[in-house]
């Protein structure tokens, strides 16, 4: 199927996620779509697969303009998308999941369907057992099933969003073989959304690069990696001079620490963060940096290896003990994970009051709230509820609630969605904290911020942490290669 995107536009508020993008995908080829966090590739693919509607532009399939109201609509027109997290139903059987979402009659011929599914699986070398439960499958197997479901549903264009994150090497080889077969033998069109340069080079014949919502370049593959990195990442602004660290006290130390979620198991981690240091973690979202942060906060268990805060072992720590021990964790979702909508600022302050007795000290809490609101320049009153604050003020208020003495602050996207003034203010606060010997470990999707604000940097890619680089000496190119999974 020949797919043409014409002048696709999609805005989220001020942000131009897709800014007038036009592309053509020919049948029988595998295309790569590259770009860093927030470049707009996911948005573009969601529009193409019917998950989101564009603000403007046209989707033309084999010369006919199409509009999709839902992913099912898109699949009926031959467009199937394999999401990073497969859209399946964990309590279901493999067969049930396969039948789901297929537009056939009311009656289901289960036996025939099971036979079809087995044969289809065999064709691509997938070992699929229709009577197994989805929840017992590995991520790679769920992905294979989802791929078969899309093919059975008549997909002529297949979009694969970061398909190799979290699957085994054998599964990856199998997946790539099937992708080549689909393109070459069956003439289907494939789009691989990825940030792993090696995979794109290996598999694709042509690549499009997006940056900040715009198409910034394309290349026939293979080509030198440098060319792609230069297209993906802009030159970094010069880094401002800053005071060097004097303290060499270890704040946090991980030795061969293994942390895992059902979705991703991290390679054993070795990491030392010093007191007063700002340590930045870069990488595409979902590459494992969030998992590391949660483990340090006591929100995920460490399966093996060790973790120490100063000289104190933290292996079997729970979150509340970590908090009491001087570790603060600030999640990315401020109103989802951090603040309680419907509660006033005073109520929040009373809630985190460590000397609270049986009764709430309302007068004291109100006074403390007023003082902090002023000191932290929160635009709001002690009686405002948190959802009445803007994002920047919510973040300021979260800082206002931090205890005065801390050993380690863990931050997920501390300045996401904030304007420059708030961003600068937050980093000023963090710099103040550094002077007291507080270590800061943060994640950011903004590479400029990571380089600008960190002393040292590590990059995550597919569950593996790169070597640690000195922020003053690195450049966009080096980080780009690391984000691309090179060592």
Which parts of this chain interact with other proteins (CB under 8 A)? Answer: 319-320, 323, 329, 331, 335-343, 347-348, 350-353, 356-360, 362, 401
Q: Nearer Cβ to other proteins, position 347 or 452?
A: 347
Q: Nearer Cβ to other proteins, position 25 or 399?
A: 399
Whole-number minimum distance, CB 381 to other proteins, in Å? 11
Cβ atoms 56, 5 nearer than 8 A? no
Whole-number minimum distance, CB 342 to other proteins, in Å? 5
**Strand pairing category for 439-443 and 278-283:** parallel
Whole-number minimum distance, CB 330 to other proteins, in Å? 9
Q: Nearer Cβ to other proteins, position 230 or 388?
A: 388
Cβ atoms 232, 57 nearer than 8 A? no
Whole-number minimum distance, CB 223 to other proteins, in Å? 45
Q: Nearer Cβ to other proteins, position 165 or 382?
A: 382
Instruction: Reduce the DSSP state of residue 406 to 3 states and report it.
Output: coil
Spatial strand order of the sheet with 250-258 comes to 269-274, 250-258, 304-309, 312-313
Whole-number minimum distance, CB 316 to other proteins, in Å? 17
Whole-number minimum distance, CB 355 to other proteins, in Å? 10
Phi, psi of 131 (to 5 degrees): -95, 5
Phi, psi of 292 (to 5 degrees): -60, -45
Cβ atoms 450, 472 nearer than 8 A? no
Cβ atoms 73, 138 nearer than 8 A? no
Whole-number minimum distance, CB 444 to other proteins, in Å? 20
Q: Nearer Cβ to other proteins, position 219 or 343?
A: 343
C-alpha to C-alpha distance for 41 and 443, rounded to whole angstroms: 21
Helix or strand holding residue 430 (H, E): helix 420-435
C-alpha to C-alpha distance for 89 and 428, rounded to whole angstroms: 46
Cβ atoms 368, 349 nearer than 8 A? yes
Q: Nearer Cβ to other proteins, position 173 or 341?
A: 341
Whole-number minimum distance, CB 359 to other proteins, in Å? 5
Cβ atoms 34, 232 nearer than 8 A? yes
Q: Nearer Cβ to other proteins, position 160 or 300?
A: 300
Instruction: Reduce the DSSP state of residue 268 to 3 states and report it.
Output: coil
C-alpha to C-alpha distance for 220 and 410, rounded to whole angstroms: 42
Q: Nearer Cβ to other proteins, position 405 or 428?
A: 405
Q: Nearer Cβ to other proteins, position 297 or 482?
A: 297
3-state secondary structure 82-102: ECCCCCCCCCCEHHHHHHCCC
Residue 486 makes CB contacts below 8 A (sequence gap 6+) with: 197, 198, 225
Paired tokens of 456: 């040292």
Whole-number minimum distance, CB 399 to other proteins, in Å? 14
User: Which DSSP category does 162 fall into?
Assistant: S
């Amino acid at each position: 199927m020949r797919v043409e995107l014409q002048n696709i536009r999609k805005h989220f508020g001020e942000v131009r996620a897709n800014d007038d993008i036009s592309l053509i995908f020919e049948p029988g080829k595998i295309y790569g779509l590259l770009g860093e966090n927030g470049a707009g590739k996911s948005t573009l693919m969601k529009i193409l697969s019917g998950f989101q509607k564009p603000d403007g532009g046209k989707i033309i399939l084999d010369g006919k303009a199409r509009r999709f109201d839902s992913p099912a609509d898109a699949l009926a027109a031959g467009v199937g998308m394999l999401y990073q997290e497969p859209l399946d139903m964990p309590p279901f059987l493999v067969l049930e999941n396969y039948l789901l979402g297929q537009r056939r009659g009311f009656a289901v011929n289960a036996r025939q369907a099971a036979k079809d599914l087995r044969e289809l699986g065999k064709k691509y070398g997938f070992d699929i057992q229709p009577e197994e439960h989805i929840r017992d499958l590995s991520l790679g197997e769920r992905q294979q099933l989802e791929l078969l479901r899309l093919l059975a549903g008549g997909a002529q264009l297949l979009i694969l969003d970061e398909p190799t994150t979290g699957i085994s090497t054998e599964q990856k080889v199998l997946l790539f073989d099937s992708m080549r077969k689909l393109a070459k033998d069956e003439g289907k069109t494939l789009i691989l959304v990825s940030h792993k340069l090696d995979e794109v080079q290996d598999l694709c014949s042509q690549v499009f690069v997006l940056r900040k919502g715009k198409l910034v370049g394309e290349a026939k593959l293979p080509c030198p990696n440098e060319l792609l990195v230069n297209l993906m990442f802009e030159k970094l602004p010069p880094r401002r001079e800053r005071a060097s660290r004097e303290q060499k006290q270890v704040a946090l130390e991980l030795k061969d620490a293994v942390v895992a979620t059902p979705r991703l198991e991290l390679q054993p981690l070795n990491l030392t963060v010093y007191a007063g240091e700002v340590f930045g973690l870069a990488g595409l979202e979902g590459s494992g940096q969030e998992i590391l942060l949660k483990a340090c906060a006591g929100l995920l268990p460490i399966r093996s290896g060790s973790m120490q805060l100063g000289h104190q072992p933290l292996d079997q720590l729970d979150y509340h003990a970590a908090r009491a021990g001087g570790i603060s964790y600030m999640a990315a979702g401020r109103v989802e994970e951090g603040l309680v909508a419907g509660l006033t600022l005073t109520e929040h302050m009373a809630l985190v009051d460590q000397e609270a007795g049986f009764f709430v000290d309302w007068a004291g809490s109100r006074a403390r709230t007023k003082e902090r609101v002023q000191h932290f320049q929160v635009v709001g009153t002690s009686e405002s509820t948190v959802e009445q604050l803007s994002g920047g003020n919510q973040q300021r208020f979260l800082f206002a609630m931090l205890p005065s003495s801390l050993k380690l602050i863990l931050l997920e996207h501390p300045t996401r969605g904030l304007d420059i003034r708030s961003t600068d203010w937050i980093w000023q606060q963090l710099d103040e904290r550094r002077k007291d010997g507080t270590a800061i470990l943060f994640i950011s999707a903004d590479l400029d911020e990571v380089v600008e604000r960190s002393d040292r940097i590590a990059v995550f890619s597919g569950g593996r942490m790169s070597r640690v680089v000195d922020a003053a000496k690195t450049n966009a190119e080096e980080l780009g290669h690391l984000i691309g999974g090179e060592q």
